[in-house]
Amino acid sequence: MASQILLTNGHFYGAASSGSTPEFHSALAIQDGKIHFIGDSAAPEIKAYQDSGAQIQDLSKQYVLPGFIDGHMHFLMLGQSLDKVDLDGCSNLSDIRDRISTFAKANTKKKRILCKGWMHSMTSGEAKASMIDDLDERPIFVDSKDLHSTWCNSAALKEMGVEGMQDPAGGTIERDEQGHASGLLSEACVLLIVWPHLANVSTMEEKIRFLKAAIEAYHAVGYTGCIDMAMDGNAWEAILALKEASGGKIPMRIAAHWLITPSDEAGRLAQVERAIQLNQEYNNTTSPDLRVVGVKVICDGVIDACTAALLEPYTSNAVSTDPIWSAEMLGPVVKRACEADLQCALHAIGDAAVHLAINALEAHGSPGQRHRIEHLELTSPEDAARLGKLGITASIQPVHADPAILRAWRTLLGPERLKRAFAYKDFAHHGAVLAIGSDSPTAPHAPIKNLYVASTRKSARQPDAGDAPVNENFRIGLCDAVTAATRGSAWSCFADTRIGTLEVGKEADFCVVDMRFEEGALLDAELKETWVGGKRVYMA
């Protein structure tokens, strides 16, 4: 008799598709790492499991949800971020300086001081090296919360050799009146200068440690899979090294989109060819739990820094920002990826970038390829309706819709445009599949808090701050949110035949949660266990 595990006296989430009424079962059996039975605890099969000597666990009425699959994250960077100074919650420069200084004094052996969670609003839009140069002689790198900018001290600028560089395509090195680099590197500079530099100065042992830390952090909140949205050679090499060091198997199901960075057309297409090559080697047939599924293009920036591409200028400063990628740049990349049957994931936050991205996918994509647009933070009604029509996945990160971090948006966009922010229900109404992700480490990664924001449009970061829900009319129901964070993410990367729901024959990936299945009660939910392939990988 094969090894069997029987879980009883639980609420097993059985809703395999969207719907407002949840369906729950009371028992689930596992055999050889897969779900062998799901149904009522009084079913005749239950006695057969008991008589066969199955290992039995009573769940005391706790809820069992499919393992969460982070539909948009950055795997290696998440692991690195767990070792950084967290500036989240700082309100001004003084707070930031205090945290960095305290960390520096407590960590004298570190070669560099890496920080995360800075927002432009914390320093009134300024980010000069001179503002932090006196804190420590070591290089200091401060990531913006959205990972679209890095604020550096003079030592960091010198270490990277920024002074002699030209602005890369799609990026800006901020300079003073004399033309010297002043401390802020934005957009493509982060991709082409900062990330490669930090990758080069990290050892493989450090990278493996970062990845292990990321997996542990994800298991602790209920994730069993993820979709990496900026895979590159450095991170891929580290993941392969981790796999080898782990005996050929990683306890996390990983799909990856290869990041295509701005360059000349030959360079852009060469990057696509690399993704095609990797997909031919690592795909659903050859390597179902570690795959390269497509390409990723960052079409614009972010609203808070006024770098997202909008159809009309920003209300706050009348600035009109163009997409990082023009239609002429984007078209050949999307066309080649589609010809090779790769999935395209296009970062588009502003309504102008969303329009650009949809046009490219409409022109070059084929039905059933499951292309996707990432973020979709500001969309016109017309483009929101095109997503479902064209079969484009709406890859959304409700954590970015948290009212606590959107207080500047009314000024940036004006009250009328703000009414179109994060139009999730609109996307679903027109037939788009929703895939929920966290965008970690740009934001907190706990999935249940993400579901809270999606289903209430209230703040999970500062629930007692009194912020009004943001566009409550666009909220989605709790069942739809759970489905988007499990089945939707699995569907988005062609993994839905194996994972994403609790169904017979699928991998036994799930999490056990002590909770009430109500939108308003999600902040009180407690993750108790996470299982991958029928093995418990986390227990509170």
Read off the pLDDT of residues 462-491 as tens digits, 9 standing for 90 and up.
999 999 999 999 999 999 999 999 999 999
Residue 366 above 70 pLDDT? Answer: yes
Query: Angle 265-281/327-339 helices, nearest 10 degrees?
Result: 20
- 50 SS3 class: helix
Distance CA 534, CA 135 (A): 49
| Structure token digits, residue 7 | 């879980």
| Structure token digits, residue 233 | 């050679």
The closest of 37, 104, 24, 103 to 64, measured between CA atoms, is 24
Identify whether the C-beta of residue 66 lies closer than 8 Å to the C-beta of residue 501.
Answer: yes
Identify whether the C-beta of residue 14 lies closer than 8 Å to the C-beta of residue 31.
Answer: no
pLDDT digits (tens, 9 = 90+) for 112-129: 999 999 998 899 989 999
pLDDT at 16: 52
Indicate the average pLDDT of the chain. 95
**266: phi then psi, degrees, rounded to nearest 5:** -60, -40
Identify whether the C-beta of residue 392 lies closer than 8 Å to the C-beta of residue 374.
Answer: no
Residue 229 above 60 pLDDT? Answer: yes
Residue 55: C-alpha distances to residues 2, 3, 59, 502 (Å): 11, 8, 13, 19
pTM value is 0.90
Question: Cα–chain-centroid distance for residue 188?
Answer: 19
Distance CA 250, CA 287 (A): 12
Q: Which residues contact 450 (CB under 8 A, 6 or more apart)?
A: 397, 398, 399, 436, 438, 460, 485
pLDDT at 1: 42
Residue 383 above 90 pLDDT? Answer: yes
| Structure token digits, residue 155 | 């030592």
**518: phi then psi, degrees, rounded to nearest 5:** -140, 140
pLDDT digits (tens, 9 = 90+) for 100-112: 999 999 999 999 9
pLDDT tier for residue 17 given thresholds of 50, 70 and 90: very low
Identify whether the C-beta of residue 289 lies closer than 8 Å to the C-beta of residue 248.
Answer: no
What domains does the chain contain, in order, with CATH numbers? 1-61+499-539 (2.30.40.10), 81-201 (3.10.310.70), 257-476 (3.20.20.140)
154-158, 197-201, 232-236: which range is least confident on average? Answer: 197-201
pLDDT at 22: 80
